[in-house]
Amino acid sequence: MNIVLLGAPGSGKGTQATRISSRYDVKHISTGDIFRENIKNGTPLGVTAKGYIDQGHLCPDELTVAMVKERISRDDCAKGVLFDGFPRTIFQAQELDKFAKIDCVINLNVPSEKLIRRIVGRRSCLACGGTFHTDFIGETKTCPTCGQELYQRKDDNEETVKERIAVYEEQTKPLVNYYEEKGVLVNIDGDNDIEKIFTDIVKGIER
Ligand code: ADP
Ligand code: ZN
């Protein structure tokens, strides 16, 4: 089974992705995480991606598609993939259709005025991949799950977030119609508590 998680920046894709991939036998592939890993390791891909990401722009389509195509050809993706943050453009979706059959697209809906607040307060843990919000954990620098150091993503500042949301509206939102027309779209109210959203997603996948 292959699933796509669709939603604006800050809509909770990463949080739900962890839950979905442990419930179903699907490998969680986050293009944002792969880019950040490459940036951390100073690879040529990372050097290219960093310029786009820091400005809140999308990385080039061809580069992103090639990266995903390579990643899902590995053994750990054989049983199915949960795509998180991919596709983000119609071009990417059309390319994806050529190498994977998408069974279900989960579209997380969150009112746009809430997205900025969610992202600016977001703290991430590189060690366990967890994300947390300062509303719940305060200003601690220690990951509540694994005890390692928390950090704030460089692109999680107000100015870059506004740009990312604008890019989402323009380039990624058309995917909602794209998948609706294919009959695989499931709309989920993402303005709820985490467990309720997950229950709704499970219902959507199993409908
Ligand atoms: P969020 O969903 O919180 O905005 P991600 O971690 O998914 O964050 O992505 C961070 C950044 O990585 C994006 O703003 C973009 O620059 C780049 N990126 C991630 N996925 C893609 C993609 N499919 N196509 C192009 N760029 C991408
Ligand atoms: Zn952690």
161 assigned to some structural domain: no
Cα gap 49→35, rounded to integer Å: 7
pLDDT in tens, 113-145: 899 999 999 999 988 888 999 999 999 999 999
Total domains, the chain: 1
Gap from CA of 132 to ligand 1 centroid (Å): 18
3-state SS of 125-180 is: ECCCCCEEEHHHHCCCCECCCCCCEEECCCCCCHHHHHHHHHHHHHHHCHHHHHHH
Where residue 59 falls among pLDDT bands split at 50, 70, 90?
very high
Cα gap 15→124, rounded to integer Å: 11
CB under 5 Å of ion ligand 2: residues: 125, 127-128, 130, 143, 145-146, 148
121 assigned to some structural domain: no
144 assigned to some structural domain: no
**CA distances, 41 to each of 23, 128, 146, 147 (Å):** 31, 17, 22, 22
Ligand nearest the Cα atom of residue 51:
1
Residues with Cβ within 8 Å of residue 19, at least 6 apart in sequence: 198, 201
Cα gap 155→79, rounded to integer Å: 33
Which atom of ligand 1 approaches the CA of 88 most closely?
Answer: 23
pLDDT in tens, 5-37: 999 999 999 999 999 999 999 999 999 999 999
What ranges in the chain are assigned the alpha helix state H?
A: 13-23, 31-40, 44-55, 61-72, 90-99, 112-120, 134-137, 158-167, 174-181, 194-206
For helices 44-55 and 61-72, the axis angle rounded to 10 degrees is 130
Is residue 12 in contact with ligand 1, taking CB distance under 6 Å? no
User: What per-residue confidence (pLDDT) applies to 33?
Assistant: 93
Cα gap 157→161, rounded to integer Å: 6
Cut 0.85: pTM above it = yes
Cα gap 4→145, rounded to integer Å: 26
Residue with tokens 């950090």: 151
Active site members: 13, 88, 122, 153, 164
Where residue 106 falls among pLDDT bands split at 50, 70, 90?
very high
Specify burial of residue 187 (Cβ count, 10 A radius: 0-12, 13-18, 19+).
Answer: middle
184 assigned to some structural domain: yes
pLDDT in tens, 143-193: 999 999 999 999 999 999 999 999 999 999 999 999 999 999 999 999 999
Handedness of CA 97, 102, 104, 108 (dihedral sign): negative
Can you name the residues that pair with 82 across neighbouring β-strands?
A: 3, 28
Is the separation of the CB atoms in 3 and 103 below 8 Å? yes
Is residue 67 in contact with ligand 1, taking CB distance under 6 Å? no
Residue ID of nearest Cα to ligand 1 atom 6 = 32
Give the tokens for residue 13. 């894709």
Gap from CA of 63 to ligand 1 centroid (Å): 13
Which CATH number characterizes residue 65's domain?
Answer: 3.40.50.300
141 assigned to some structural domain: no
156 assigned to some structural domain: no
Gap from CA of 68 to ligand 1 centroid (Å): 13
142 assigned to some structural domain: no
Name the residue range of residue 193's domain: 2-111+172-206
Residue ID of nearest Cα to ligand 1 atom 12 = 32
134 assigned to some structural domain: no
Pocket test for ligand 1, best of 30, 55, 59 (most atoms within 8 A of CB): 59
Which atom of ligand 1 approaches the CA of 57 most closely?
Answer: 16
